[in-house]
Amino acid sequence: MSGRILVVDDVKANVRLLEARLGAEYFDVRSAANGEEALALIASWPCDIVLLDVMMPGLDGFEVCRRIKSDPRSAHIPVILITALDRTDDRIQGLRAGADEFLTKPVNDVALVARVKNLVALKRVTDELRLRAQTGSRLGLTTPFDPSGEEEARLLLVDDRPSSSSRLVEALGRDCIVDIEGTAPQGLIAAAEKSYDTILINLGLASYDALRLVSQLRALERTRLVPIVLVADPDDTARTTRALELGVNDYVLRPVERTELLLRVRSQISRKRGNDRLAADVEQTIAMAITDPLTGLRNRRYLETHLVSLVRQAREAELPLSVLIIDIDHFKRINDLHGHDAGDRVIREVARRLRAHTRSLDMACRYGGEEFVILMPETTLDTAEGVAERLRKLIEAEAFALPSQDEMLVTVSIGVAGFAGRDDNGEAMIKRADQALYEAKGAGRNKVARDRKASAPQPPATHAGSDRAALSG
């Protein structure tokens, strides 16, 4: 695994040792001799992780870490503090400063490389989400985060020793809701059924291999990105290292110090919720990019790409496919007589009626202005024509309420086209449906016209098409 590593230490011998060890793993390593130099380098060089000595002249490692984590431009960069200090108070001070790990000299090379690879891999997940979310933010497609709506954190603890689990729950106090499962299979079921902010696992499970449970959790879609924290014995280094390779986010060693456990768990909860917000922003960006804001229907961009896949499916599986183009009659007159607010309300109501009276298999889109398109997979031209007539009557049957409290009748004209064989394509189908719409308008509006120029008969109706025919009657 490649990655950019910044080593910060005022002792050149220490720097050279780390450069050699990490370089052997094909990391791109740079170094800084003090805190000021490190902060300047971070601002200009996008590193993936910082290995930071604590005892340095000028700014010590704690202060440098604090500044890295307080800057929004670098807060996402993992920091490993490396020091000869091994007291619990020193670890807690480092964790309070925002450090992701605290390693004591002399550092075990295997443990160091495993932790570096682990943190780089976890960072890349966040980086991908950040990049996509930033794109949406720049385009104004995301909404600001409101922290007041966050719920109390929920944790899952998997531990088959009651004495151990009770101590851990007591240590976590009232910071969060903790669900306890005494067996690994039950823990896996609980994790698959509920949403958790962090999962704690006793590495020393008596009746099940905890590493296998970690692997199973990482294989599930629901728990793939949920932070996992192990509770391990100090002499179980090999299994702890293996757990990091499997994707565990952090671990705490026995005897568990309450403040350290809380800080590590809070850090994982914060990272999880931050990633959840980024993922939600990405989903919102995608949804807004393919959704018409006035009607909530899919927009023309989505229609064009989706139609390509439907045509390919129809061609390969020899299935029927039909398209409706729907246009609101005399729409300019509605705007001129009643105003654009009334026009917008009519468009929204037409969209609502179309959506309410089409199958979930169908795709209703706003094509532009007062035009709509409905894509109907597995639907023959004859059946689609019947559906179009039913939709025309539904639009005409009930008056539309206007902002002025007045009501008016609205009608639509509809053009229908069907997939005409292997040489047909989506663009040609839309053109034929549009030509049929033109004929419906020319015949006096409030009518349905079908494509008369299909070059080949459509495939026979499937069961779905037969259901559609029944609906169109």
Token pair, residue 88, equals 């619990």
Q: Which CATH number fits domain 149-289: 3.40.50.2300, 1.10.260.40, 3.40.980.10, 2.60.40.10?
A: 3.40.50.2300
Peptide bond connecting 144 to the previous residue in cis, omega within 30 degrees of 0: no
* Helix boundaries (H) for 226-257: 237-246
Peptide bond connecting 255 to the previous residue in cis, omega within 30 degrees of 0: yes
Q: Where in the chain is the domain with CATH 3.30.70.270?
A: 300-472
The one-letter code for the residue type at 354 is L
Closest-CA residue to 390 (of 371, 369, 376): 376
Contact between 329 and 445 (Cβ < 8 Å): yes
pLDDT at position 22, please? 94
At 143, is the secondary structure helix, strand, or coil?
coil
Q: Where in the chain is the domain with CATH 3.40.50.2300?
A: 1-107, 149-289
Strand order, beta sheet including 228-232 = 177-181, 154-158, 198-202, 228-232, 250-253
Q: Could you read off the pLDDT tens digit of each residue along the chain, which spans 473 residues?
A: 579 999 999 999 999 999 999 999 999 999 999 999 999 999 999 899 999 999 999 999 999 999 999 998 899 999 999 988 778 888 899 999 999 998 888 888 888 999 999 999 888 877 776 665 555 444 444 444 444 445 789 999 999 999 999 999 998 877 789 999 999 999 999 999 999 999 999 999 999 999 999 999 999 989 998 999 999 999 999 999 999 999 999 999 999 999 999 999 999 998 888 878 776 766 666 677 788 989 999 999 899 989 999 999 999 999 999 999 999 999 999 999 999 999 999 999 999 999 999 998 999 999 999 999 999 999 999 999 999 999 999 999 999 999 988 899 999 999 999 999 888 999 999 999 999 999 999 999 999 999 876 544 455 554 344 444 333 43
Contact between 388 and 354 (Cβ < 8 Å): no
Cβ within 8 Å of residue 364, ≥6 positions away: 297, 298, 351, 354, 355, 358, 372, 373, 374
How far is it, in rounded angstroms, from Cα 41 to Cα 31? 9
Which is it for strands 321-328 and 371-377: parallel, antiparallel or unpaired? antiparallel
How far is it, in rounded angstroms, from Cα 163 to Cα 159? 9
300-472 classified as CATH 3.40.630.40? no
pLDDT at position 53, please? 95
Q: Which helix (H) or strand (E) holds 156?
A: strand 154-158
Q: What pTM value is reported for the model?
A: 0.63
> How distant is the alpha carbon of residue 26 from its chain centre?
30
Contact between 3 and 120 (Cβ < 8 Å): yes
How far is it, in rounded angstroms, from Cα 244 to Cα 116? 10
Would you give the DSSP letter of residue 459?
A: P
Closest-CA residue to 44 (of 4, 9, 80): 4
Q: Which helix (H) or strand (E) holds 82?
A: strand 79-83
Please identify, in words, the CATH class of the domain defined by 1-107.
alpha beta
Which are the catalytic amino acids?
A: 370
End-to-end CA distance of the chain: 62
Could you tell me the sign of the dihedral formed by the alpha carbons of 423, 428, 429, 435, in that order? negative
